[in-house]
């Protein structure tokens, strides 16, 4: 069982206990017991001579298809989830869900079985305890295994007819911690209860003894009943001629007297109302009830009806009604009386209002109802909680704080820490020498019983790594931070989960390197120096034709210079040709800076224009075009004497061939307009316009 699963239930459980004790409203009660409302284990009742009732969905249906007949001690059990009938017994014989007799021998009782009850074996959904008491007070049990006989079930051959003690009555309630039950028995002819602990390990044959209450009976014949409230914390016991109510300690298994209702006739039988507000009981032919919410319930006893059956049995059913056996001419009958509104002060008693089988003759009716464990509570209550193991710290060789929380009682405690260490306090500190997974077990002891919860703790290792001291980097430099090898995960300050982080900007960087949930961390502050400024400028020109040059200066004060492509290591260089030049400088800290510039070719514009050409195809002066150098922009237009444009070009490579629209132009004078731009001898950029004429000869 895991303590961490209990916390969400606490509020619901507190409400449940309050409603159980004090509220009358049925819808609230159903809300508190929604878990039980889904339990279909008691949906199918079989009893008497081939009689039965089904309560699927809370609606009653009469069943007459059973081959099962018994006078005393009937018990039937259905699948808690589906409601499918699993098996029926009368304490001597066993029938499967098809009403086929499984075991004709007395697998439990050699004598007549007076009372039988069925509950699931803890931690095994396929096995069930069948517990019965005979008319001679012999309390026995066997185990039914639903996986046998091709899933129809049978008694386990290793667990048949095991005697417990000599008792008159018994009931079952849930243990407070974990799966399991308390089997509460009242010893025959003694004022003594023996309570057996039932867990996944079986029935503890060393009972808890409570010497309290009255002597049950001196007769060998079993009369009376025992029933619990829905919380299992109150037990009503009816002896041969009295009724007493006991507090039941679900931690220790002990009983203490709570109410002595009174002495009544003889052979009383019991049933709590749905919300436990009222205790219904028979006495001779009278049907009575007591208000258990009163401080003295014995003063509230009232008779609500009468039965013609002097030993009338009563039982609360899944539909919320209480059913009472009846008689005709001193014989049992299939007629049944019904009590409605069992939780209300305004109850309604309907005498012999239900006929289970009108075809049955008197003497063939209902003698006993099947009985069920009526403890509907969850495993924990608001008052008693399963302890929860808590710890702080998950690293080897470091002190880890352990404690346990929860409202629980204990005589002593013992921790088993999984590394061979034991502790006997509720709070302590412990250090694990090695990383690994450890199963921590917390045992607490109460009333001679041991209870346990466990929790897995994963201990990780610490890593030995460091980023070193804070540092200052040169501009554009980077720093590689490496996490330790073997970590299960990495968590960097920037959200990265890689083992390596490349730093390219200033700031504080940290890493958590995890070994499971144990982490080792380190941090480093990274700052960047101011950038080194190198400015070579942008406007650099040379004219190689005139042996012109430029001086490129990287600035003074640096430790080193390196020019590309010249390879010079001086502060400045002389450049006589156009091209790209790149310099890298270093300061005394080893930081570098750089710059690049383009030296462009720049010479004055020069040109010459012929004044005639002869496009006759002799290869001499066939094309008219200016001869120009160092021109930036250029265009030329040529016109005839009438002002008509005969040629236009923006390319120095293209001249006029003397044709106009594919036809040779006439000889004569033509006029040109030349526009161009370039640099002057003084280095100034200028636009030029030249007009002139050219003679075309054929």
Are 243 and 271 contacting, i.e. CB atoms less than 8 angstroms apart?
Answer: no
The residues near 234 (Cβ < 8 Å, ≥ 6 apart) are 228, 245, 246, 247, 248, 258, 276, 292
Residue 341 has pLDDT above 90, yes or no: yes
Q: In the CATH scheme, what is the code of domain 606-696?
A: 2.60.40
- In which order are the strands placed within the sheet that holds 314-316? 314-316, 322-328, 331-340, 348-355
Residue 1 has pLDDT above 60, yes or no: no
Measured in degrees and rounded to the nearest 5, phi and psi for residue 95 equal: -120, 140
Residue 65 has pLDDT above 80, yes or no: no
Rounded CA separation 442/282 (Å): 47
Q: Which residues pair with 413 in a beta bridge?
A: 444
- pLDDT average, residue stretch 266-293: 92
Out of 363-367, 401-405, 538-542, 614-618, the most confident range is 401-405
pLDDT band at 407 (very low <50, low <70, confident <90, very high): confident
- pLDDT average, residue stretch 73-98: 91
- pLDDT average, residue stretch 344-367: 86
How confident is the model at residue 636, as a pLDDT?
94
pLDDT band at 260 (very low <50, low <70, confident <90, very high): very high
Rounded CA separation 77/72 (Å): 16
pLDDT band at 378 (very low <50, low <70, confident <90, very high): confident
Measured in degrees and rounded to the nearest 5, phi and psi for residue 610 equal: -65, 155
How confident is the model at residue 90, as a pLDDT?
86
The residue ranking higher by pLDDT, 70 or 375, is 375
Q: Per residue in 554-602, pLDDT tens?
A: 999 899 999 999 999 999 999 988 899 999 999 998 899 999 999 888 8
Q: In the CATH scheme, what is the code of domain 3-355?
A: 2.130.10.10
Residue 382 has pLDDT above 50, yes or no: no
Quick one: which H or E segment has residue 10?
helix 10-22
- Looking at the chain, the domain(s) classified CATH 2.60.40.10 span 388-459
Q: Per residue in 234-251, pLDDT tens?
A: 999 998 788 999 999 998
The residue ranking higher by pLDDT, 64 or 203, is 203
Bridge-based pairing of strands 85-89 and 302-306 is unpaired
The residue among 316, 284, 287, 285 whose CA lies nearest residue 301 is 287
How confident is the model at residue 84, as a pLDDT?
94
Rounded CA separation 212/417 (Å): 41
pLDDT band at 232 (very low <50, low <70, confident <90, very high): very high
Residue 406 has pLDDT above 90, yes or no: no
Out of 185-194, 384-393, 395-404, 656-665, the most confident range is 395-404
The pair of structure tokens assigned to 204 is: 């503890």
How confident is the model at residue 330, as a pLDDT?
72
Residue 316 has pLDDT above 60, yes or no: yes
Are 319 and 58 contacting, i.e. CB atoms less than 8 angstroms apart?
Answer: yes
Rounded CA separation 287/270 (Å): 10
Are 258 and 454 contacting, i.e. CB atoms less than 8 angstroms apart?
Answer: no
The residues near 289 (Cβ < 8 Å, ≥ 6 apart) are 273, 278, 279, 280, 281, 301, 302, 304, 347
How confident is the model at residue 22, as a pLDDT?
39
Q: Which of 15-29, 70-84, 276-290, 677-691 has the lowest mean pLDDT?
A: 15-29
Q: Which of 80-89, 98-107, 275-284 has the lowest mean pLDDT?
A: 98-107
The pair of structure tokens assigned to 697 is: 């000869």
Q: Per residue in 13-33, pLDDT tens?
A: 333 333 333 333 344 344 344
Residue given tokens 């010079």 in the structure block: 568
Average pLDDT value for the chain = 87
Residue given tokens 């009931």 in the structure block: 171
Are 369 and 74 contacting, i.e. CB atoms less than 8 angstroms apart?
Answer: yes
Q: Which of 422-426, 543-547, 579-583 has the lowest mean pLDDT?
A: 543-547
Q: Per residue in 435-464, pLDDT tens?
A: 999 999 999 998 888 889 999 999 999 999
How confident is the model at residue 439, as a pLDDT?
97
- Looking at the chain, the domain(s) classified CATH 2.130.10.10 span 3-355
How confident is the model at residue 33, as a pLDDT?
47
Quick one: which H or E segment has residue 150?
helix 148-151
Q: Which residues pair with 315 in a beta bridge?
A: 323
Q: Per residue in 120-161, pLDDT tens?
A: 999 899 999 999 888 777 888 889 999 999 999 998 866 656
- pLDDT average, residue stretch 318-327: 94
pLDDT band at 698 (very low <50, low <70, confident <90, very high): confident
- pLDDT average, residue stretch 157-171: 72
Measured in degrees and rounded to the nearest 5, phi and psi for residue 329 equal: 55, 45
pLDDT band at 219 (very low <50, low <70, confident <90, very high): low
Q: In the CATH scheme, what is the code of domain 388-459?
A: 2.60.40.10
């Amino acid at each position: 069982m895991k303590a961490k699963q209990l916390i969400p239930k606490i509020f619901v459980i507190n409400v449940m206990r309050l409603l159980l004790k004090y509220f009358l409203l049925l819808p609230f009660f159903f809300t508190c017991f929604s878990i039980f409302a889904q339990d279909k284990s008691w949906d199918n009742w079989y009893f008497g001579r081939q009689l039965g009732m089904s309560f699927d969905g809370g609606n009653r249906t009469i069943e007459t298809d059973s081959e099962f007949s018994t006078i005393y001690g009937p018990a039937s059990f259905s699948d808690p989830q589906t409601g499918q009938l699993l098996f029926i017994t009368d304490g001597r014989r066993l029938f499967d869900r098809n009403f086929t007799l499984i075991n004709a021998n007395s697998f439990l009782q050699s004598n007549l079985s007076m009372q039988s009850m069925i509950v699931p074996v803890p931690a095994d959904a396929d096995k069930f305890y069948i517990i019965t008491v005979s008319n001679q007070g012999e309390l026995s049990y066997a185990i039914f295994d639903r996986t046998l006989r091709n899933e129809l079930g049978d008694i386990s051959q290793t667990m048949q007819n095991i005697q417990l003690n000599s008792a008159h009555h018994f009931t079952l309630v849930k243990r407070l911690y974990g799966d399991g039950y308390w089997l509460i028995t009242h010893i025959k002819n003694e004022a003594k209860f023996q309570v057996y602990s039932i867990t996944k390990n079986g029935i503890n044959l060393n009972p808890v003894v409570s010497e309290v209450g009255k002597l049950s009976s001196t007769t060998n014949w079993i009369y009376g009943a025992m029933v619990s409230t829905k919380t299992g914390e109150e037990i009503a016991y009816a002896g041969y001629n009295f009724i007493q109510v006991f507090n039941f300690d679900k931690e220790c298994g002990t009983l203490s007297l709570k109410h002595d209702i009174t002495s009544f006739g003889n052979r009383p039988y019991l049933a709590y109302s749905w919300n436990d507000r009222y205790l219904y009981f028979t006495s001779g032919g009278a049907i009575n009830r007591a208000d258990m919410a009163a401080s003295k319930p014995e003063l509230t006893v009232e008779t609500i009806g009468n039965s013609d059956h002097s030993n009338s049995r009563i039982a609360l059913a899944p539909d919320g009604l209480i059913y009472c056996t009846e008689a005709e001419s001193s014989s049992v009958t299939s007629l049944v009386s019904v009590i409605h509104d069992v939780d209300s002060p305004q109850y309604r008693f309907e005498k012999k209002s239900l006929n289970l089988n009108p075809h049955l003759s008197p003497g063939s009716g209902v003698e006993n109802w099947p009985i069920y464990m009526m403890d509907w509570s969850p495993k924990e209550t608001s008052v008693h909680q399963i302890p929860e193991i808590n710890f702080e710290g998950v690293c080897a060789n470091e002190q880890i704080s352990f404690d346990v929380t929860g409202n629980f009682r204990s005589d002593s405690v013992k921790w088993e820490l999984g590394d061979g260490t034991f502790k006997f306090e509720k709070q302590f500190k412990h250090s694990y020498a090695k990383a690994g997974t450890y199963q921590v077990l917390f045992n607490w002891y109460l009333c001679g019983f041991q209870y346990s919860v466990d929790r897995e703790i994963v201990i990780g290792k610490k890593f030995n790594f460091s980023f070193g001291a804070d540092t200052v980097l040169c501009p554009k430099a980077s720093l590689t931070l490496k996490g330790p090898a073997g970590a299960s995960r990495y968590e960097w300050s920037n959200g990265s989960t890689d083992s390596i982080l490349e730093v390219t900007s200033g700031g504080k960087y940290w890493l958590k390197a995890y070994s499971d949930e144990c982490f080792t961390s380190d941090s480093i502050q990274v700052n960047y120096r101011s950038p080194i400024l190198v400015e070579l400028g942008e406007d650099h020109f040379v004219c190689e034709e005139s042996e012109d040059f430029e001086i490129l200066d990287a600035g003074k004060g640096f430790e080193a210079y390196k020019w590309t492509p010249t390879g010079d290591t001086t502060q400045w260089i002389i450049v006589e040709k156009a091209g790209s030049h790149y310099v890298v400088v270093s300061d005394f800290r080893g930081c570098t800076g750089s710059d690049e510039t383009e030296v462009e070719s720049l010479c004055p514009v020069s040109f010459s224009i012929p004044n005639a050409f002869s496009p006759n195809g002799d290869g001499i002066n066939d094309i008219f075009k200016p001869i120009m150098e160092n021109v930036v922009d250029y265009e030329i237009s040529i016109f005839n004497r009438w002002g008509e444009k005969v040629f236009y070009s923006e390319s120095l490579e293209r001249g006029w061939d003397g044709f106009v629209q594919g036809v040779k132009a006439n000889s004569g004078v033509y006029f040109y307009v030349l526009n161009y731009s370039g640099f002057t001898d003084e280095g100034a950029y200028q636009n030029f316009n030249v007009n002139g004429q050219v003679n075309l000869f054929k």
